[in-house]
Amino acid sequence: MDLRSVASGTARLIFYTLLAIVLMALDFRGRYVDQLQQLAGQLAEPLVLVIDWPFDRLQQASAFFGERTAMVERVEQLEQALLEARAGIQVVDDLAQENTRLRTLLNLREQIQAPTLVAELAAIDLDPFAHRIVVKRGQRHGVRIGMPVMDATGVVGQVEYVHMNTARVILLSDPDHALPVQVLPGGERTIAYGTGTLNQLRLNDLPMNSAVEQEQLVVTSGLGGQFPAGLVVGRVLDIERVPGQPFATASVQALSAMGRNRQVLILQQAPATPNDVDSDASTSDQDTASDEGINPRVEPRASSEQPLQQARATDADLEGAR
Amino acid sequence: MVRQGSWGLTSSLMLAYLLTLVPLPHWLDPLRPYWVALVMVYWHLEVNRLNHLGQAFVMGLILDVLTGSLLGQHALGLVIINFLVSRFRSRIRFFPAWQQAIAVGALLFNDRIVQLWIIGLLDRGWPSWSWWLPPLIGIAVWPWLFLLLDAARHRQRQLS
């Protein structure tokens, strides 16, 4: 190998390294390559479905040839679970009606139940550090970017890219994800950030005198309009008040299985329009919002932008208000 | 040298992508070797195909899109591996099998360090010790992969 070829090889290495680094920076910070990701994901979709196909068939076959007695037992179990759930729902229905009456009495906007879509996970293994899952429902089934995804126990994440038959979901635990939440029973509002560890979230900007305690329930606050209010997110593991720091931080254990189960639920709600959120926030949430320092009128401006960046903008507003 | 048909190359690469995505039981998942890199190194070492950095870059981008990792993450890793292979190709090629496997293992370890650097910059949390297992599995898999691809290549040559 003579000197010139070595030099040109090194030059090419530097060129491609820089190209890769620029791409990573664009993808991570600015989401400038969203279009590219969308297109590439669409092209890669057939491969995902090809890999998934035999596993899908296998599962169907095993269900088909499964033992009859086991099946009957399972049906019985499910029926019992359904019965119990129904009984619970009746109580909830009653409460919901009461809630509607009270809301009309108070002249508040009625809360609309969003239709849901059950989605099966595609049987492929993604990069464990990516905090993404792929579900087998796409544009054809009415999935749109930004729709909340949950399972039976809590919020899982939201739709990031939609392709024809599949969609990619970003999990709450991704460090790039921020979710406006409320800690019950105090009702304190804050933002839950992903930590990069599955099932772990972090509340970074609680006031030092915050009433948040261990074991308290964290639910979505509905601010930002991306997620409906009141969905279960997790439980507070512990709260830390470091002297000298401006904010207290708490770690939260997410309650959902984060896509390790086979099925998730996609809430098909249209992301709220700015006016929508504004009227709701300014009427119903005024009292809590003002003493928290969140200005509800600043909030909706962000929600018309990119769904994932909206939470970040909220955070900036929140800090600005303080 | 007469170029052999790209059939073997394309199908082995496709297989590598499939093996990367195929779901494994939870405990087996951290043991998954870096299939795409192994296949690329084989074709580069033995046949001097896939020897261009641009090819490595594109293969890495495809892998990034498929696995949902940051765009450019695997591309960077594969470009560095490809560069190192072309630097040391003339030496590694004539190593005995076990030594070659260790050389490939060193490449994969180096790649792990590069990936760790990227993950560290992204603030994605420190990986557990099982992070360092895939290169070891890669060393164990390499001789068999080598024999398999060699056999497939010779068979194809006889047929054509």
| pLDDT exceeds cutoff 90 at B41 | yes
How near does any CA of chain B get to the CA of A196, in Å? 5
Bridge-partner residues for A219, per DSSP?
A182, A232
- Residue A306 DSSP code: -
Neighbours of B28 (CB within 10 A): 10
Strands lying side by side in the sheet with A116-120: A116-120, A263-267, A148-151, A154-162, A167-171, A132-135
In the chain, the amino acid numbered A134 is: V
Inter-chain residue contact A48 with B61, CB threshold 8 Å: no
Q: Check residue A123 and report its DSSP letter.
A: S
- Report chain A residues whose CB lies below 8 A from the CB of B72: 19-24, 27
Residue B31 has pLDDT above 60, yes or no: yes
Percent of chain A with pLDDT over 70: 79
What's the whole-number mean pLDDT along residues A166-175?
88
**Domain extents in chain A:** 20-65+115-168+258-269, 67-107, 178-255+272-321
The pLDDT value recorded for residue B139 is 93
Instruction: Give the gap in angstroms from C-alpha A11 to the nearest C-alpha of chain B.
Output: 11
CB contacts, 8 Å: B69 with chain A: 126-127, 129-130
Q: Which residue has the tokens 């992204």?
A: B122
Chain B CB within 8 Å of residue A48 CB:
yes
Residue pLDDT, tens place only, A244-267: 888 888 999 998 887 677 788 898
Question: Per-residue pLDDT for A111 more than 80?
Answer: no
Facing B22 at nearest CB: one of A37, A43, A125: A125
Task: Specify the length of chain B in residues.
Answer: 160
> Does A20-65+115-168+258-269 match A178-255+272-321 in CATH topology?
yes
pLDDT at A41: 82
Phi–psi pair at B80, nearest 5 degrees:
-65, -45
Chain B interface includes A30 (CB < 8 A): no
Q: pTM, whole model, 2 decimals? A: 0.73
Would the CB atoms of B79 and A130 count as touching at under 8 Å?
no
Per-residue pLDDT tens digits for A222-250: 888 888 888 889 999 988 888 888 888 89
Residue A85: predicted pLDDT: 87
Residue A55 has pLDDT above 90, yes or no: no
What is residue A121's DSSP assignment?
B
pLDDT of residue B18: 87
Average of per-residue pLDDT values in chain A: 77
Give the pLDDT score at B106.
Answer: 94
Instruction: Name the residue range of residue B99's domain.
Output: 7-22+30-159
A202 Cβ contact list (under 8 Å, min separation 6): A192, A193, A194, A195, A249, A250, A251, A252
Which CATH number applies to A178-255+272-321: 3.40.50.720, 2.40.10.350, 3.30.559.10, 1.10.3720.10? Answer: 2.40.10.350
CATH topology of domain A20-65+115-168+258-269: Thrombin, subunit H (2.40.10)
pLDDT at B112 over 90: yes
Average pLDDT score over residue span A144-158: 88
Mapping DSSP onto H, E and C, the string for A217-283 reads: EEEECCCCCCCCCCCEEEEEEEEECCCCCCCEEEEEEECCCCCCCCEEEEECCCCCCHHHHHHHHHH
By mean pLDDT, which of B9-13, B40-44, B102-106, B127-131 is the weakest?
B127-131
Interface size, chain A vs chain B, as Cβ–Cβ contacts under 8 Å: 114
Would you say residue B1 lies in a domain?
no
- The predicted pLDDT at position B128 comes to 80
pLDDT of residue B85: 92
Say whether pLDDT at B125 is over 80.
no
Chain A residues whose CB is inside 8 A of the B85 CB are: none
Q: How far is CA A189 from CA A78, A176, A180, A185, B160, in A?
A: 37, 20, 7, 11, 70
**B75 vs A20: CB contact, 8 Å cut-off?**
yes
| C-beta of residue A289 within 8 angstroms of C-beta of residue A313 | no
Query: Does residue B11 lie within any of the structural domains?
Result: yes
| Closest chain A CA to residue B55 | A16
Contacts of A217 (CB under 8 A, 6+ apart): A183, A184, A185, A232, A234, A235, A236
Percent of chain A with pLDDT over 90: 7
Which range (A230-239, A304-313, B10-19, B125-134) has the least confidence?
A: A304-313
Residue B82 clears pLDDT 90, i.e. is over it: yes
- Chain B: give the shortest CA distance to residue A24, in Å: 5
Cβ contacts of B119 on chain A, cutoff 8 Å:
129
Q: What is the pLDDT of residues A270-285, one digit of tens each?
A: 555 444 444 444 334 4
**pLDDT (0 to 100) of residue B114:** 92
What is the structure's pLDDT at A2?
Answer: 63
Counted domains in chain B: 1
CA distance B45 to B142: 12
Mean pLDDT of A217-221: 89
pLDDT tens profile A35-52: 777 888 888 888 888 888
